Structure formats: structure tokens, C-alpha cells
Structure 1
Amino acid sequence: MEKIYRPQEVADQLKIKKATVYELIKRGELKSAKVGKQIRISQDQLDEYLTRTNQTGQPAGLTDALPPVMDIPRFSADQASRQMDYLLHTNGLIINSQESRTVELLRSLLSQRENSLPLLHSYMNDYNSLYSLYYEKTHMALTCFCFRQFEERIGQISHFLPGKEAAVIHICTLKTGFFVQKGNPKKINSLKDLCRSDIRFLNREKGNGLRIYLDRLLTEQKTDRSFIPGYSDESLSHMSSANTVASGLADVSMGDFSHLAAYPQLEFIPLTEASMDLVILKSAMEQTCFASILETINSREFKDSLLHFNGYETFHTGEVQFTVP
């Protein structure tokens, strides 16, 4: 009878962490099966994985040397709606965003102020964050859209909030681009290189600001997306994108320059700048809790903390502009 292993038993055999086994399964490198609610790996599945890694010269525990990745699982529309309905009935302000580090920084500083409410983070991409704000299912949306002219970002946000007037509070600008292996062995220098048959691309998910910008460029250049190997493969975070390229599972992906600090295996090819902005409906701005948020964003402590992220700029941090209904 074929031997069947639990994830912990596989981790013990490969001398890696149990979390790494789950990551290998999640990325499709290690096949598995579900018995009820339990994950099990057969001897054949384990042998197939070991044979493949030996052939590529990549040790089974390579991902163990990389920073841990915590992608947020995908939610169905029904799940996301129920999650926000729950948060709306709790004592706090809901902020929708993929930018976890900035939310945590804002949450930490707000907790030290009077007249502030707890921040409840609902992890959503830029499109869905503004969609939720439009339907008033959230209190704030922290977005990150790419731009060619700084003023473009207001028009882009307005596009997702038809008929609504919103305050756009600038947080910072940051550098976005392509993650490639150290030394750029595949010589990836432009969007056209993504169409090469020897390139494996990892895209960002639909609704992410980088994905929206990429699709815009591809449309302008009349590039057929079907010619890009891996275009339909999606990553849910900057760190996951960097991790996938660093581990050799993709040749190029897109993300925020600041995450490069955790990956000495990578180089960065600049694409464009992006603007991180906190969007609040104008009708809510007079409430005391939002005044506390604005004061926090304008504080020296908040701005100095943002500068710890490599590539972040705070020249316009705290500036407020309004969308046109």
C-alpha cells in the first residue's frame, strides 16, 4: 500500500518548516489531496516533487531561506459582503486596502490619540476598496494607483466614485516596477520582453493598481495579452511577487521597490511612480475621528516612519484634494 504523509511528516523529511510545505502546495509545486478536511501527500506526489527539484538543481528547502509570504486568500463576493457587514456593526472604522504596513503604522499611532476609533482592516485591492466606498460599505479606502502625471491620480479615483465627492489625502509616492533575478539573466528591459516565449511572467490580480496600469500600457501599445506567458497567473501582494521570482518560479513580476530590501536575489527595473492615498467621502470629513486621522498623517512621527520604507517619498504627505462628482 502506498505511503501517505501528513504535512508535518513531509516537513520532517525535507527538513523544512511545516508552513513551507503548505506554501509549496499552495503554489502547485507539491501536489496533494484532501481527505475530508485534512491535507495528505502520497509517496508518489512527494517523489515527483523531489525528482523535479533535483532536475532543476533547486534544493527542496530553498523557499525556507526566503522571507515568509502571507497572501490573503481570495474572497467570493458573498464572503466579502458578509465580512464588511460584520465589521460595520463593530466599534471601529473600516479601512480597505492591500497596504498592510501603512495601515498598521496608522493604527499604531492613532491608538495613542484621544478621540480616535480602532481601525479594522479589510484586505481588498484598489478597485474593490473604492467600489466598497462607493456603496458606503467601508469608511475609508487606502489606494495605490500608478501615474505619469501626479494630478492623474485624482481623476483615476473619481472614475471609481461616480457622483460622489471624496477627500483624497496623500500618504506618499513610491516606486513601482519589475522584479527580476540578480544580474537580470533574461535581459528583461521593456514590456515587449514579456511576450518572449522564454519568459515566465507573474501578473498582479485584477483590480490592483499595478495591474490596471499595465493593462493600460498594453492597450496603448496594442499588445495582445495572449502572447504573454503567465499573464493569467496572479499574485496577491508585492511580497508574494518578489518571493516567486526569488525562488525561480517566475522570471519577472511587478511590485513596490521597498520590498526589494528583503530579497538580495533580485534586481528592480523601474516602471513608474505610484501614489498611495487615503480616500474618505467628503460628507464624513467633519467627524472628530477623521480629524484625528488627518492630524496623525500630518504628524512628523508618521512621515518619518514612512521614510523607513526604501523609496517612499513624503513631499506631499497630508495634502488634501477633492474628487469631482
Structure 2
Amino acid sequence: MNGAALLERLGDRLAGLRGRMTPDAGMDKVTWFRAGGPAEVLFQPADEEDLAAFLKAVPEEFPVSMVGIGSNLLVREGGIRGFVVRLSAKGFGQAETVSPTQIRAGASIPDKRLAAVALEAGIGGFHFYHGIPGGLGGALRMNAGANGVETRERVVEVRALDRKGELHVLSNADMGYAYRHSAAPKDLIFTSAVMEGYAEDRATIQAEMDAVQHHRETVQPIREKTGGSTFKNPPGTSAWKEVDKAGCRGLMIGGAQMSPMHCNFMINTGTATGYDLEFLGEAVRARVLEHSGIRLDWEIKRVGTFRAGHEIDAFLGQML
């Protein structure tokens, strides 16, 4: 079913929604990899109320998935079936201080912007977000972290809507955080969160943010089409070290390459398809498994269906 047919099938159910519906939306324009197939229908709700109305209107047999700002996302070439929700900056990208040490922020606010809000308010503990190329919703979902700090250390409570459009307010404990993981139900769409830091001098915060920026510019390919860290760090070692030891620094498949600068970063050199990128990632996993016996887990979120004839199996049997 194409996007127009899907919208026609639902007919008047979607009447009254204030957000933007885009059938057959190119996800290559959304993801930082600039690759991947289309979403059957992309919906950008106007606000939390509009999102709740949408979820209540769409029968549960129709798939609904969520994407953030696309920084840590790989969309397969067959695209994404059903509806894809992407929170708008206008409706979900604001932040405000609610106490001397707390910030309420919408789920679509970029992590870097959240760090800037904290700096302006003199709230410490958010400097690490200055170096994370993503949005708060994704950070909440995957417990994003850097420079020795993780999202779980800042979360007070999270607002979310379930597949039926019902509101949930989750505590830090409810989120069930672990390394790069949250145990919150997968169908929940986070809309905002209250985050807490501590009082700190603005000059100190700025110095911490400057150090984060310097580190990123020195060791990461931040000006490339990339999805950030490709694999999670396995226990007792770093993913990039294992990728490097397996001889995969600079490895290329089609237009996809493991960055020569930081070999846990996968980049689109200009012509990579979703197939090239995922094939490269699985090839690297296979090499690392063969070399060290370590099974690397993807940190990049891979969604959608494979294009016919371009399916990829995990841990390729033939080394490249």
C-alpha cells in the first residue's frame, strides 16, 4: 500500500488533526546518513494533544513507529510501512527552567540545544549533551551518554503517550535504565521530560562544553554524513579498538566506509545506500567476531524493510 492509499483507507478518522501528513516521505532527507527508503506516511503532530488524537484515531492494526531527528538512524531501502511519527520542533522542541536546578524540555529538542539552555541557567551536569548529535527523545530511549555522564543521571520524570494515545508519566526508576538501554515499553512515544542538574558557575560549564567540542573535532568525523557511534562498547573494551584490531579501519563497501578517523563511526562518502551501510556494519561485526570472539551490538537503530534481493543476514558467513 502506498501512502495516499493508506490515508484514503482511513478516510475521516484523521479529520481534525492539526499536524502535517506527508505520504511516501523520503527518509533520506530525514536521516543524517542521507540514505534509505520512504515512509509510507510521515506524520508531524502539532503538539502532544494532536499526537494523542492521532494515536486514538489510527486503529492498532496499522503500524506506527517513531523517529527522532535522524542522527542515529539507518532506514532500509524498502522503507517503513504504516505511519512514521516525527515530533516537530515547534510543538516539542522547547525548554524552560522549572526550578534552579531543573529543566522541562520537549523530546525533539537537540541535545546540543539542551546543553545551551542549561548553560544559560547556570545548571551543571548537561555539558555532555553538547557533544551528542541527537535529540532528547532518542537520548531518553537509549540512555545516551558521553564524557562519563549518562542520561539516566539527569532524568526526573518523562511524559509519554502509548499506542492508544493514553498519557503516562514515568519516574527515573520506571525507565529501567542500563548501558545504552531503557526498559520503557517500546510503544511509548516520549513527548517531554523534566531533567535535573546542579548549580554551577557558567564559566565552568562553558569550559566543560568547550572541552567536549574540542574532543569531538579532534577525534570524530563530525562533518561527514554519519550516524555517530555504530556499535555499543562491549564489556571491558571499546568498540573502536575491536574494530581497529580486526582490520576494519577505513573498510569500504560501495559508498559506505568505517571512518579512518574514528573507526566506530560509519560514514556515507556520497553514494552509499541503506544496503551498503548495513552490509558494511554486518561485515565488521563478522570480522570482529572472528578475530576476537566479541559480538558487537549495533548502537545505530535500523528500521524498515529490505528491498527485494537486498536482504542482509546478521553476521555474514563470508568474510570480506
TM-score by length of 1: 0.27
Greater fraction strand: 2
The structure with the largest alpha-carbon Rg is 1
Q: Tell me which protein shows more helix as a share of its residues.
A: 1
TM-score (norm 2): 0.27
